[in-house]
């Protein structure tokens, strides 16, 4: 029996594939390679293509004995989603519908889903709990919440059980040094800070220093990508054991400001990192910190790479040894 990983050549997908292979699981990947990288796959059988290609999905499910699905494949840029909503509804929502239909036809009844803190929007309180209000502030978050709701109805009506994992800020790279973060374009804070340390960009922009936080910059909950990968494996096993659908936050429960991230990166790299304070970026909540108590108690998840310095050091070991990421496409 194999686990199907959609978007397995992406950042979090590829780290999850690595974790599954380490645990002796058989892995099948579907990835369009539009944003993922072939080099990020440390194993498994790759089907290159799109979830909206129903024939390809049918073939994949016919050719492999799939026990469970881990679903990462999606467009994930908040800014882009506010310029091109149709792309997000098409790729994310319709893509997920095609996947669920194919699972229904093939009789596969377990799915672990890559969701996001963006489903909450501006939080009513921090740390955020799973039962808090979900009111997405952007199209990206709205499509992820819609995908969660679709899964909930596919469970009620058809018994396809799901676990939605709402991650906060994924960061860091694999301990092997073979895979790491390479988004094009890159929009995430830690890789951009490290690019500034490498002099690949002139400075790191600080998007606003007038937030109601101690140093005026936004606070986020950074979580190591390999801890996220571990949670996905636990979620599959949770469903395998017969448990019902559930939703979990995945974060450290610790918040760090943009300035703290930059200061920590200076310490880790030993390099100067020029900064330029700019206007706020639209749609950024001041503070996003997770309560992950539920994942800890129900999944037995215990993030082991929790300190910011360690997370940035692991990202730095990838970026400094792969200054061009996976290289030219
Ligand atoms: N930031 C900067 N300068 C930059 C880039 C980011 O100051 O050049 C700031 C942002 O304003 C934010 C923080 O650094 O305050 C982190 O920004 P990221 O873009 O790295 O991450 P986000 O918190 O915006 O986004 C993450 C995920 C999204 C998800 C969102 C949930 O990447 O997929 O959390 O709100 F939607």
Q: Is the pLDDT of residue 329 over 60?
A: no
Q: Which residues are catalytic?
A: 140
**What atom in ligand 1 is closest to the CA of residue 168?**
34
Q: Are 272 and 142 in contact (CB under 8 A)?
A: no
With a CB cutoff of 8 Å and minimum separation 6, the contacts of 261 are: 189, 190, 193, 222, 308, 312
Cα distance from N-terminal residue to C-terminal residue, the chain = 32
Q: Are strands 66-71 and 219-220 parallel, antiparallel or unpaired?
A: unpaired
Closest CA to ligand 1's atom 8: 205
Distance CA 198, CA 204 (A): 11
Buried b (16+ CB within 10 A) or exposed e, 74-112: bbbbbebbeeeeeebbebbbebbebbbebbeebebbbbb
> What is the fold of 2-170+223-250?
Rossmann fold (3.40.50)
Tokens of 235: 């979620």
Q: What is the pLDDT of residues 158-214, one digit of tens each?
A: 999 999 999 999 999 999 999 999 999 999 999 999 999 999 999 999 999 999 999
Q: Give distance in angstroms: CA of 188 to centre of ligand 1.
A: 6
Distance CA 232, CA 110 (A): 12
* Tally of helices (H runs) and strands (E runs) in the chain: 11, 13
Cis ω for the linkage preceding 318 (within 30 of 0): no
Q: Give distance in angstroms: CA of 49 to centre of ligand 1.
A: 29
Domain boundaries in the chain?
Answer: 2-170+223-250, 189-220+253-321
CATH class of the region 189-220+253-321: alpha beta
Tokens of 275: 């900064």
Q: What is the pLDDT of residues 303-323, one digit of tens each?
A: 998 799 999 999 999 999 999
**What atom in ligand 1 is closest to the CA of residue 280?**
11
Residues with CB under 6 A from ligand 1: 76, 78, 116-118, 140, 169, 187-189, 192, 204-207, 218, 220, 258, 281, 284, 288
Q: Are 119 and 146 in contact (CB under 8 A)?
A: no
Query: What pLDDT score does 283 carry?
Result: 83
Q: Is the pLDDT of residue 328 over 80?
A: no
Q: What is the pLDDT of residues 249-292, one digit of tens each?
A: 999 999 999 999 999 999 999 999 999 999 999 888 999 999 99
Closest CA to ligand 1's atom 27: 169
User: Is the pTM for the entire model greater than 0.90?
Assistant: yes
Q: Are strands 256-257 and 219-220 parallel, antiparallel or unpaired?
A: antiparallel
**What atom in ligand 1 is closest to the CA of residue 117?**
31
């Amino acid at each position: 029996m194999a686990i199907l990983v959609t978007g397995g050549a992406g950042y979090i997908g590829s780290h999850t594939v690595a974790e599954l292979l380490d645990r002796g699981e058989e892995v099948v990947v579907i990835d369009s390679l539009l944003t993922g990288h072939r080099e990020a796959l440390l194993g498994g059988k790759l089907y290159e293509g799109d979830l909206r290609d129903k024939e390809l999905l049918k073939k994949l499910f016919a050719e492999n004995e799939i026990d469970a699905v881990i679903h990462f494949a999606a467009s994930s840029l908040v800014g882009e989603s506010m310029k091109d909503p149709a792309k997000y509804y098409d790729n994310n929502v319709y893509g997920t519908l095609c996947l669920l239909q194919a699972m229904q036809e093939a009789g596969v009844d377990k799915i672990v889903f890559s969701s996001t803190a963006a489903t909450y929007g501006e939080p009513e309180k921090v740390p955020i709990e799973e039962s808090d209000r979900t009111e997405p502030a952007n199209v990206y978050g709205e499509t992820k919440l819609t995908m969660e709701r679709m899964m909930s109805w596919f469970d009620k009506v058809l018994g396809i059980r799901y676990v939605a994992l709402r991650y906060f800020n994924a960061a860091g790279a694999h301990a092997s040094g073979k895979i790491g973060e390479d988004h094009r374009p890159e929009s995430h804070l830690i890789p951009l800070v490290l690019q500034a340390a490498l002099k690949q960009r002139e400075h790191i922009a600080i998007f606003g220093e007038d937030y109601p936080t101690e140093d005026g910059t936004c606070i986020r909950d950074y979580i190591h990508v390999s801890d996220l990968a571990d949670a996905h494996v636990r979620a599959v096993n949770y469903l395998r054991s017969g448990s019902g659908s559930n939703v979990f936050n995945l974060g450290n429960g610790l918040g760090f400001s943009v300035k703290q991230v930059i200061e920590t990166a200076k310490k880790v790299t030993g390099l100067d990192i020029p900064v330029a304070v700019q206007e706020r970026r639209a749609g950024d909540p001041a503070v996003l910190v997770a309560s992950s108590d539920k994942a800890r108690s129900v999944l037995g998840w215990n993030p082991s790479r929790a300190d910011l310095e360690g997370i940035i050091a692991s990202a730095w070991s990838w970026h400094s040894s792969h200054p061009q990421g996976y290289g030219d496409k």
